Structure 1
Amino acid sequence: MSSSLQAHPSPASDAPIGWASLLFARAGLYRLLARLYLEEVDVAWLGLLREHPMFAPALADLAALEDPLPKLRAEYARVFLLNVPPYEAVYVDEDMMLNASCTQAVAQSYADLDFQPNPIRAVGAADHIGLELECMAQLLEQAAELVPSSEDRLATQLQIAQRFLSDHLASWGPIFGLAVAHDARLAFYRTLGEFTAEFLLAELDALTPHAAPLGHEHVGSPPPANPDLRVFEGEFRDIARYLVTPALAGFYLSREEMFRIGGHLQLPLAPVERRVMLVQLLDQAARYEVLDELLAWLQREAARVANTGRDWEHTYPGVAPVIEHWRRRAEATASGLAQMRRLASRGVS
């Protein structure tokens, strides 16, 4: 999918009209993604998406339905309201609290950039991915309007856009997109998640040459320290808290995935808060002697995200510091779960 993402050209080497057109086109992609995350697909958008080269194939599995909108709306609610929250704080804040320090930092960025979210947007917090995508669209539109006038001002505007992207959207959007793609049951939302992850990384990789070299100081989350894997020798409640916290575990473990694991192991689960669900899973798995199978499943999930991170680092070497944060965390989680399996096999509690 990444091969279809054209890099931003250099304003010094490309015709101004072409440069401005490309910036407006990129802004249009941000606005398209924002719309799909902020609201369910309606009749008008369904018609447009059926003509879109990327989303038309993803709607093919709904072609036999006379009206696919109810199914699309149900999937929107299942993915974004019940399973994969579209808020930055959930991924970069260890407390995962909305409208706390992380959300306040995003709101301050909006104020600094003179971005005013549309008040009709019914979202729970300012760090919703749809609003961040709209902010990025505005930054690129402002850059496009500078093309005929000043190369210096254009370069400054691109630096501003790159900084917002690296500090916010790209610091969590790829992991969020990966979780959406993994949990989606419809090809449409699976495609949306996959494209979001690749698009944000490709955009940051393309914008970085026009700005300062990207290092850990540009990443919204701090660089990862070596995790304390002793948590995997502790109580189930502590292990569960670690695994359901993306900023610690390096990936997002949804209710959908826990129901999937529980169904596979024939362990009943109540639809409660994620940490409580995982404690239930661990307790029942230990009771019914399938703990190793549960830990192996979780280990594979962490390894899957770590492997994807390595692929991303190879594809987008210019933004490796952004990806490294998540890849190292996921690798550490996989290692901790392997250690827990070894201890359990020796009967160490």
Structure 2
Amino acid sequence: MMAPVLSVENVSVRFPGARGDITVVDDVSFTLEAGQSLVIAGESGSGKSMICQTLLGIAPGAASVTGTRIDWKGRDLLRLRDHEWQAVRGAEIAMIFQDPTAALNPLITVENQIIDAIRAHRKVSRSEARARAIEVLGLAGFPEPEHRMRSYPSELSGGLRQRVAIALALSCSPSLIIADEATTNLDVSIQAQIVKLLRELKDRLGLALIFVTHDLGLASDIGGDLLVMYAGCAVERGPVNDVLTDPTHPYTRGLLRSAPTLKSSRANPLRPIPGQMPKPGSVGAGSPFRSRCPVVVDGVCEVQRAGWTSAGPRHDVACHRFAVEGREGVR
């Protein structure tokens, strides 16, 4: 096992509220090695994007981020001052945002946006930065980059804008790229192309990749490890294929049952998870999924958060029922 380039230990994110702090990420831990993929999956509001923002130091100003440590190549990101983030954000850790239309400046050409990003972090001439811009646009699958890079974002399709966003993320040769719902606004065929591109870039360049999604189907395409989030809490973690073929948390099982497949039909309908995710700050000390769980342990899940139980090699689940009865208890 290689030493991880990123180690997140017991990180929580809270916001002030009228009746006390509101927790949106609660005691989350994970590690990531160079060249490894980590998929963070869960419904909207589960805390996925807030984790990503924390790793870049761009959590909203009112946020209070606490934890044991966020170790990035031997530096604790929790202790960085604002000016110290400049050496990390964009240069060592880069993000591809969900909406490239909002992420790109509509008044500046693709060429100048990438050149400006490179020269903000690297002491290079404009011609050197332009050559690098052409290179990363080519890596991102942007067609005829030397000619079309003079385009404005509004002149490009959604898929091409996302390729520009990927090129921007690659421009300063980061060690980690975070793709935060980077395929959500794209049609299915373009989604598949972007996922394939990200996977190939990770392997070709030796990047670590965090891929955030609510679609477990995309998780299997990315590969690597999977962290399932619910209401700010991590509830299951392990190799993607192990978690998807043998899900052990009732929430993970519910997500898979509610996703359409080729076998979905009137005779074999989808089975949505009943109820709604609890509002931020309302989970309390009990298991976060208890109000929607079909196998809740009465008198336990209401008052106590489940710890991690092994479900296989590197596969862990935080579930009281599984801890007592194993797989049969959560089927």
Give the number of the structure whose residues are more often strand, by fraction: 2
Which TM-score tier does this pair reach, normalised by the shorter chain? under 0.3
Give the number of the structure whose residues are more often helix, by fraction: 1
Taking structure 1 as the reference length, the TM-score comes to 0.26
Taking structure 2 as the reference length, the TM-score comes to 0.27
